[in-house]
Amino acid sequence: MQDDTPTRDRLVTTAATLFRRQGYHATGLAEILAEAGVPKGSLYHHFPDGKAGLAMAAADWTAAFLIRIIDDAFQPAPGYREGMAHYCNKLAKLFQLTDAANTCPISALLFDGPESDAFRGHADHVFQRLIDAVAGHAQRLGLPPDEAVAQAETLLIAVEGAWTLARARRDAAVLRSLPARLLPG
């Protein structure tokens, strides 16, 4: 059965999955190409910078995926606390579905990758997109702009740490406990 997914999309989603599972350096181009079912020339056609360019595209794809989760969690919420609880519960489900041994979907791509200003700048941009998404919902739900940004940054910082601890413990409850820890009462 032929996969009708465009070649570029197959490369990006395959790379995102493999980088999350194994890390950037442990994932070879040959493995990405084989998993995606595409020839080597296709990689360089779509990503002239090779693996580094593919990793940045995979980070963008992953950020867009996480922003959809943020939107799905916060859109129906009557308040920021409820939106955060929905988001943490959705992340806990994602954690369980993707295997507790996997690393954070964004960190695996951007902090295990090549040491370069472009890569670090891209990491900052990707994380800022997530902060902006949460802050936008927080403002819509009544938080003042400065507080909305502060809450969004705090949530992202907490999620990164909680994902790491949940991974070590192999327990998604760590992610589910974040709202009560961040906004007690």
CA distance 141 to 66: 19
- Environment class of residue 63 by beta-carbon count within 10 Å: exposed (0-12), middle (13-18) or buried (19+)? buried
pLDDT number for residue 15: 92
Residues recorded for the chain: 185
pLDDT number for residue 176: 96
Q: Report pLDDT digits (tens) over 109-159.
A: 666 666 778 888 888 899 999 999 999 999 999 999 999 999 999 999 999
DSSP-derived letter for residue 5 is S
Q: pLDDT-derived band of residue 52, with 50, 70 and 90 as boundaries?
A: confident
AA identity, residue 127: F
The domains located in the chain, with CATH, are 57-182 (1.10.357.10)
pLDDT number for residue 19: 87
What is the 3-state composition of the chain as percent helix, strand, coil, each rounded to the nearest 5?
Answer: 75, 0, 25
CA distance 7 to 43: 9
pLDDT number for residue 45: 92
Q: pLDDT-derived band of residue 3, with 50, 70 and 90 as boundaries?
A: low
Q: pLDDT-derived band of residue 2, with 50, 70 and 90 as boundaries?
A: very low
- Environment class of residue 37 by beta-carbon count within 10 Å: exposed (0-12), middle (13-18) or buried (19+)? middle
Per mean pLDDT, which range of 20-34, 61-75, 92-106 is the poorest? 92-106
Residues contacting residue 35 through CB under 8 Å, at least 6 positions apart: 14, 17, 18
